[in-house]
Chain A
Amino acid sequence: QQQVKQSPQSLIVQKGGISIINCAYENTAFDYFPWYQQFPGKGPALLIAIRPDVSEKKEGRFTISFNKSAKQFSLHIMDSQPGDSATYFCAARMDSSYKLIFGSGTRLLVRP
């Protein structure tokens, strides 16, 4: 019930393409869903986050789509750039706790 399942494990996209990463959760008590970007040798950095009362949130080239009934959410990276090549983690949290439950990560490679 505490798991967050993330797919795909790795993703290769051409420059300018759309990168899509999917996550699913079981625990309906989760009410905050952030996405983190991690470069080698660095800690995770918050990219964008959503709460379940919203179905979509967009910040620049990054969009989260949220489907509460299906308990799924996804990250879309539009116009993907080589600088976006990193590992992306979805996560979930209950507002009553700061504890983040992370997915297993997706390694994104954007080819020039």
Chain B
Amino acid sequence: ETGVTQSPTHLIKTRGQQVTLRCSSQSGHNTVSWYQQALGQGPQFIFQYYREEENGRGNFPPRFSGLQFPNYSSELNVNALELDDSALYLCASYRPNTEAFFGQGTRLTVV
């Protein structure tokens, strides 16, 4: 049990739609990162938020956006979904100078 909860666990969307994925972190975890894990691959860094500000971004287009809230929850939003966006989306949260705790992920299928 990592204390990081993601919802929903599974989701099916149609190409072109928009999706919002949610993550609830432990109290005091003021940094959250989001990763995309395609089938059979390692997780790829999407972006990171610290104290509600984005402070790092991987090689993902602007249609991937996020929010972090004061209650240690966060969202990943993806607009104009493409078939290649089908993946497991992972949220990881941290206290300063501690390890990353990953949630169980949201499996997104785009059809």
Contact = CB atoms under 8 A, between A and B. Distances in A.
Interface residues of A, number: 21
B28 interface: no
A43 B56 contact: no
B51 to A, nearest CB: 13
A41 B44 CA distance: 17
25 contacts: A6-B42, A36-B102, A41-B105, A42-B105, A43-B2, A43-B90, A43-B92, A43-B104, A43-B105, A44-B43, A44-B90, A98-B31, A98-B33, A98-B100, A99-B45, A99-B56, A100-B33, A100-B45, A100-B92, A100-B100, A101-B45, A102-B43, A102-B44, A104-B42, A105-B40
Interface of A: 6, 34, 36, 41-46, 49, 89, 91, 97-105
